[in-house]
Each structure stands twice: as structure tokens, then as C-alpha cells.
Amino acid sequence: MKVTVVGAGAVGASCAEYIAIKNFASEVCLIDIKEGFAEGKAMDLMQCASLNGFDTKIVGATNDYSKTANSVVAVITSGIPRKPGMTREELIGINAGIVKSVSSNLIEHSPDVIIIVVSNPMDTMTYLVHKNTDLPKNRIIGMGGALDSARFKYRIAEALSCPSSDLDGMVIGGHSDKGMVPLIEKATRNSVNVSEFLSPERMNQIVNDTKVGGATLTGLLGTSAWYAPGAAVSEIVKAIALDSHKMIPCSALLDGEYGIEGLSIGVPCIIGKNGIEKIVEISLTDSEKNKLKESAEGVAKTNTLLD
């Protein structure tokens, strides 16, 4: 299985590294517009192969999309990252043009590719790929929910002083500070609702800390995070490669599910060899429904900036 990662910056390199280390892909192709940058990152990562025990081949290319031919999956990370104080929505002007061009180039050389969108604002960029390509909707996936859910479980583990492997929790809605809907009432520790262990005040703090998880890291790092986004992407790619039918929250184009139509937003998805095999409609409380509706309205408003 061949995977292409467009953008060899911190996020793209992390994607390539985690995909290689998990050893389910035959080749990862890194593409970047900066001369020699992807080639250098690929060489550096390949020098880790004997140390980290992977056999995946990693190659790099400067803006040469012919090298991406026959990719099963392509990950779009390219675009400008957030800086402290910036919202994801403020990136739309520059990143929209980049994502539109990149997706067209990818499809030219791999017409049946599955595209995973990481570039922000992620839900709107995912919608843009739907709008500007002829790919079926199951082959266009936004990464956000997978990352947000990992950050959610990190915060729950922190509150409970327990390993994250004990936890099950999910974030749906838009990948934005205001739009995320962490499903705290459904989160469990070994099948026991976390409300059995935590006060309502602590649960509310977890929700709020999750929603500003990206902004918190941007403030600390001076730019967008990269380790967790790379790991989140690798989990989606792995589910496709192994046809595992794993349920992962992803940004998917909805056609009436959850009462939402014509926009991409985070919902539980079954991920397999065809990309999004199924959108899962789970039961939501009235409060959760209202929050998801508000989130969808926010995403729709950002989408209008594309026109």
C-alpha cells in the first residue's frame, strides 16, 4: 500500500513517521513545495528504519506529483499553520487555494485515491475537496474528530489519574474551539461512566479544556501541534490499510444524518478499505443535539467564505 503525504513540515513528517513505524504501508511519499525539504525529511526518517524496526520505504519529492502515482491514500497537511491568537478559520484564504490545487494534482495521478484532509479550517477544507473533485464522498475524510477525541481522553485520564487505555470517549462536531462537542456524558472508564468518578464541575472543565486543546498547544509552542495530529492520521490510514472497520470520529459529508445536509462535520464513522464505510448515527441527548446544531451552523458560516 502506497501513501502520499503532502506537506513535509512538522505535521506531515509526523504522519510519515507514525505510518512507517506502524509498518502497514509499503511506501510513504512525502511531497513539499520547498526545494529539497521533503527529500531531506525522507532521508532522515529512513535512517531511523533500522533503529525503529520498520520496513516501510519513505521517499521525498519537490512538487513532483508524478511520484505520488498509484497512492491508495493521500494526506493533505499543506498550508500555513496557526500562530498564537489565531483561529483555524483565519487560515481559510491561503489554505483554500493550496488544498484545491493539491487535491487536483493528487487525483490526476491517483484517480481512486482516498484523501484525508488535515489543513485548517479542517471541516471547510474537507468540504472544499468534495466541492472541487469528482471523488465519491466516502473517499474524502477530515481528520479532526480523531485528534479531538484523543485530546478528550487525555484530559479525562488526567482527571482520573488513569491510563488512557482505560477510556472510551468521543468528540463530534466541528474542529474548532467553539464547535467541538465532547460527549462527556457518554465517556466511560472500562464501561463505567466517568460521571461515577468525577464531579459535574470537573467534567465541565474537561470539556472546556478539550475544546481549546489546539489553542493551548499553539500558545505554548508558538505554532500548531504535530505529534498528536500525525498519530491521529496514522490511525485513520491504518484502518483503511487493514480494512479494520474501526469506528473513528471524522469529518464526513452529511446527507441528512443528524439532521444536517450538505456540509462536512465530525461524526462517528466506520473506516475501512473504501474510506468511510458507514456514518454511524448514535443517540444524542437534547443538549448534545443542540450543541451539534450550533456547531454545524458555525461550519456552514465558515464555508460561505469559500464563495
* % of the chain residues with pLDDT over 70: 99
* Low-confidence winner among 79-88, 118-127, 236-245 (lowest mean pLDDT): 79-88
Would you state the pLDDT for residue 84? Answer: 80
- Using left for φ > 0, alpha for ψ between -120 and 50, and beta otherwise, residue 231 falls in alpha
Distance CA 125, CA 139 (A): 14
Evaluate if residue 307 carries a pLDDT over 80: no
- Average confidence (pLDDT) over 89-110: 91
Please give the span between the terminal C-alpha atoms of the chain, in angstroms, as a whole number.
Answer: 36
DSSP H helical ranges for the chain? 10-22, 37-46, 49-52, 92-109, 122-132, 144-160, 200-211, 213-221, 227-241, 286-303
Distance CA 34, CA 109 (A): 21
Tens digits of residue pLDDT in 281-304? 999 999 999 999 999 999 999 999
The CATH number of the structural domain formed by 2-143 is 3.40.50.720
Which among 2, 72, 59, 71 has a CA at the least distance from the CA of 32?
Answer: 59
Q: Identify the band that residue 160 occupies on the pLDDT scale cut at 50, 70 and 90.
A: very high
- Average confidence (pLDDT) over 16-40: 97
Would you state the pLDDT for residue 145? Answer: 96
Q: For residue 125, how far is the Cα from the chain centroid?
A: 11
The chain-wide mean pLDDT, for the chain, equals: 96
Would you state the pLDDT for residue 75? Answer: 98
Q: Identify the band that residue 79 occupies on the pLDDT scale cut at 50, 70 and 90.
A: confident
Evaluate if residue 155 carries a pLDDT over 90: yes
Evaluate if residue 77 carries a pLDDT over 90: yes
Tens digits of residue pLDDT in 214-268? 999 999 999 989 999 999 999 999 999 999 999 999 999 999 999 999 999 999 9
Would you state the pLDDT for residue 81? Answer: 72
Would you state the pLDDT for residue 93? Answer: 79
* % of the chain residues with pLDDT over 90: 92
The catalytic residues are 175
Evaluate if residue 88 carries a pLDDT over 70: no
Would you state the pLDDT for residue 91? Answer: 76
> Where in the chain do CATH 3.90.110.10 domains reside?
145-306
Length of the chain: 307
Evaluate if residue 148 carries a pLDDT over 70: yes
Distance CA 275, CA 74 (A): 11
Would you state the pLDDT for residue 197? Answer: 98
Q: Identify the band that residue 80 occupies on the pLDDT scale cut at 50, 70 and 90.
A: confident
The CATH number of the structural domain formed by 145-306 is 3.90.110.10
Model pTM greater than 0.85? yes
> Where in the chain do CATH 3.40.50.720 domains reside?
2-143
Would you state the pLDDT for residue 82? Answer: 67
Evaluate if residue 40 carries a pLDDT over 90: yes
